[in-house]
Chain A
């Protein structure tokens, strides 16, 4: 199949369109997490004084993957709808649409991770051997994003308010995941609630390797692996089923 070239073409097109005509180009995608880091650092380590040091590294180790996740879902959800003109007129594997949205966002994730590595050195946290787990975490995150993104994209074709629902969900989900705070700051009786969140498992693994410089805890990692694979299977299955009617409904 030559369709992987189509995927590459779509990703290149999206990246080019996104940054064509902007002076700072791809640096905008770095500026955003940097700015957020600055704001959250001021709010949570100067004003609220969360006792985590160095806070910027703790924050970014969770915030960078989370941003990529949120961005992926948002662009994947509307991916079919935004390509309506080709969906209606050309036969091609429709799975490429959410896949290319995820791939585009993952390019930005990789760039942000480089930035994070730089900052880890600047703040003298250093980088431990545990960093070897990073590729695994990124892959699992992408698998999860593809599954959930495909599912949302397919349903969005039929119910246009999925995208609005998603933006609300992402806000709640963000603050419900230990990213700006750590899990041990959560009162013990609420903790089970936070521990039931698969994204918390993933984020804690990221924090393990970047901030604590230790091997990710096994249970959350395995748990997320299971959830990611199951979500991808269900998401792609539903997508495939519903995609038979995309051309007439989109």
Chain B
């Protein structure tokens, strides 16, 4: 039936090139194509959109929402699972994509329409309607490069919503232009719904999701975390956001994580002297970091590592089991690895901890949590500047200088 969308255990993998071998020479010499990390932006994602309904997809940045939309639009292709899309799709992924700056608005309507697979005579029929909707009639015969970005976006929206499609995909574009135009867009979308067309809306604007959608799903870390009535799902999302704000050590869970996940980090914690989780330290305190892992597939000779970065991005410290000559062999199905240091010799400041599991040559990353754990170091009195604290003492003219009486 036209308008039905089904996702059946859909997975999508992206490659992040650390050092891309764009040249053939390098590829031949090293006999492999670039050093890249693979990560699954979507993992076994399943959902269904019934014909004539509106689905809202929400989730934190990097959760895979837009990827899901591009999969429906057939711009991307899945690495696993099955996608069924029935009917003609019109996608508003980025308004004005494919506009030619030297072409006039009118010429661009034809060019853009052709890009959407429309016939010239069909566009000619709709031309007036499109120009009228965009509200840029006086400028329609000027080159698009003379348009403001708002005008260009309005023209893009006008073209996309005046296409006869069964499915309309919208990605964060409702915040277009002024209030009057936004209202026009909303009205047009409502009309779409009234005509029984299917809509998928990806948005951070929870109000829009509540207002327009019959159902909503919350995507996080590549899978559906919640599905149901928009009020419930947006409520759940807000609760998640609030929880993260209250637990700063988890605040960055939406931040970068990548890897094949053959071995997964299930938890990473910093422990203080008493063996309890702790995220505020004094310079010189003992430090322990516990990395809990789980093996999804057998992994040999893994390397566990940590890295500390200052909040402003300065790379401060890294350590790993490989550098210490530790051969792990076959990794247990699950377990934990503990890093300990007698003194945390970092100077005062805010820091972020990264933890990772890689293979022996650091070529394959199994799981990498990039700067996902934040902690603070305080330093009473002695801080003068820099990153490290060297526990300094001073001799002035041969005599040990003692700190000023305080």
Q: Once A and B bind, how many residue pairs between them come within 8 Å at the CB atom?
A: 76
A90-B116, A165-B24 are known; give 14 further A-B pairs, CB within 8 A.
A2-B114, A2-B118, A2-B119, A3-B114, A5-B114, A16-B102, A88-B75, A89-B75, A89-B97, A90-B98, A91-B89, A159-B24, A161-B25, A248-B76
Choose from B23, B70, B117 the contact partner of A1 (Cβ within 8 Å): B117
Q: Is the CB of A90 within 8 A of B91?
A: yes
A142 to B33, CA, bound (A): 32
How many residues on chain B are close to A (CB under 8 Å)? 33
Residue B14 is within 8 A (CB to CB) of chain A in the complex: yes
A247 in complex: contacting residue of B23, B76, B122, CB < 8 Å: B76
Of residues 90 through 125 on chain B, the ones whose CB sits less than 8 Å from some CB of chain A are: 91, 93-94, 97-98, 100, 102-103, 110-111, 114-120, 122
Contact B23 A91 (CB under 8 A): no
* B22 contacts the other chain (CB 8 A): yes
Q: Which residues of A are found within 8 Å of B118, using beta-carbon distances?
A: 2, 5
Any chain B CB within 8 A of the CB of A136?
A: no
List A residues 80-110 near B (Cβ within 8 Å).
Answer: 85-86, 88-92
Known: A9-B111, A90-B91. A161 touches B23 (CB 8 A): yes
Question: How far, in whole Å, are A20 and B101 apart by their CA atoms in the complex?
Answer: 13
- Residue B27 interfacial (CB < 8 Å): yes
Chain B interfacial positions (CB closer than 8 Å to A): 14-15, 22-25, 27, 33, 70, 73-77, 89, 91, 93-94, 97-98, 100, 102-103, 110-111, 114-120, 122
A13 to B110, CA, bound (A): 11
Please tell me if the beta carbons of A160 and B75 are within 8 angstroms of each other in the complex: no
**Across the interface, do A161 and B76 meet the contact criterion of CB distance under 8 Å?**
no
What chain A residues lie within 8 Å of B33 (beta carbons)? Answer: 158
B interface, over-half SS? loop
Contact between B22 and A160, CB atoms less than 8 A apart: yes
B91 touches A91 (CB 8 A): yes
A1-40 CB mask vs B (1 if < 8 Å, else 0) is: 1110110110001001100100000000000000000000
- The one of A90, A160, A248 in contact with B115, judged by C-beta atoms closer than 8 angstroms, is A90
Q: Report B-chain residues with C-beta under 8 Å of the C-beta of A86.
A: 97-98, 115
Residues of A within 8 A of B (CB): 1-3, 5-6, 8-9, 13, 16-17, 20, 85-86, 88-92, 158-162, 165, 244-245, 247-249
20 examples of A-B residue contacts, CB within 8 angstroms:
A5-B114, A5-B118, A5-B119, A5-B120, A8-B114, A9-B111, A9-B115, A16-B102, A89-B75, A89-B93, A90-B97, A90-B115, A92-B115, A92-B116, A158-B33, A160-B23, A161-B23, A162-B24, A244-B77, A249-B15
